[in-house]
Amino acid sequence: MVRKKAYDEATVIEKALELFWCNGYETTSMRLLEETMGINKFSIYSSFESKQGVFLECIKSYKRNLQKLVVELKDSTDGVAAIKAYFHAILEFSKGNKTGKGCLLASTAGELGANGDKTIMKEVSSFSDQLKTVFAEKLATDKTKSQDLIVKQANYLLLAIQGLANASKVYERHLLEDYIEMTFKNI
């Protein structure tokens, strides 16, 4: 007979997400996960297999929250103005979270880098790839732009949004608003 879980998986993932968001992946220990999630190591391994498994579930949960903003961007017909609105929405999302730690995906990319855990980085980069594609679609609504320029601007905007998310951990809103304005000056 399969034993029934004595905890709500979504709740423990939300707790783990906050912990990873504050501490990062590498410095979060299994002991901290046990304490924060309120379940023992056996339950963690049984449900998620490893620390990596917990983190991947956290990333998936986080991406579901961000996906709402991406859908709004994708559905918009406002071209570059829609991308700029997305930047403002990300600023709100990054500044408004409980941890004040910017964007979990941008932080993870910065923490682990290109040589980090391949499975985790694949999850992070899949979101970045999707976002860059949507940026390119919105930029392409300006028929005066060449395909080469669209690709370069989409790449630039992807790096700019990651910079904004990371900067939101440190800088005041008015500086971040200026950053957004300057980002779109030549787009």
> Residue range 113-122: average pLDDT?
88
Spatial distance between the Cα atoms of 103 and 69, rounded to a whole number of angstroms: 13
Question: Do 12 and 38 meet the contact criterion of CB atoms below 8 Å apart?
Answer: yes
pLDDT in tens, 57-104: 999 999 998 889 999 999 999 999 999 999 999 888 877 655 567 888
Q: Which CATH class is domain 9-183?
A: mainly alpha
21-50 as b/e: b if 16+ CB within 10 A: bbbbbeebeeebbeebbebeeebbeebbee
**pLDDT at site 29:** 93
Amino acid, single-letter form, for residue 150: I
Show the beta-strand stretches assigned E in the chain. none
Q: Over the stretch 18-43, which tens digit does the pLDDT of each residue have?
A: 999 888 999 999 999 999 998 888 88
**Is the pLDDT reported for residue 174 higher than 80?**
yes
CA distance 7 to 4: 9
Task: Map out the domains of the chain as residue ranges.
Answer: 9-183
Report d(CA 36, CA 18) in Å as an integer.
9
DSSP 5: P
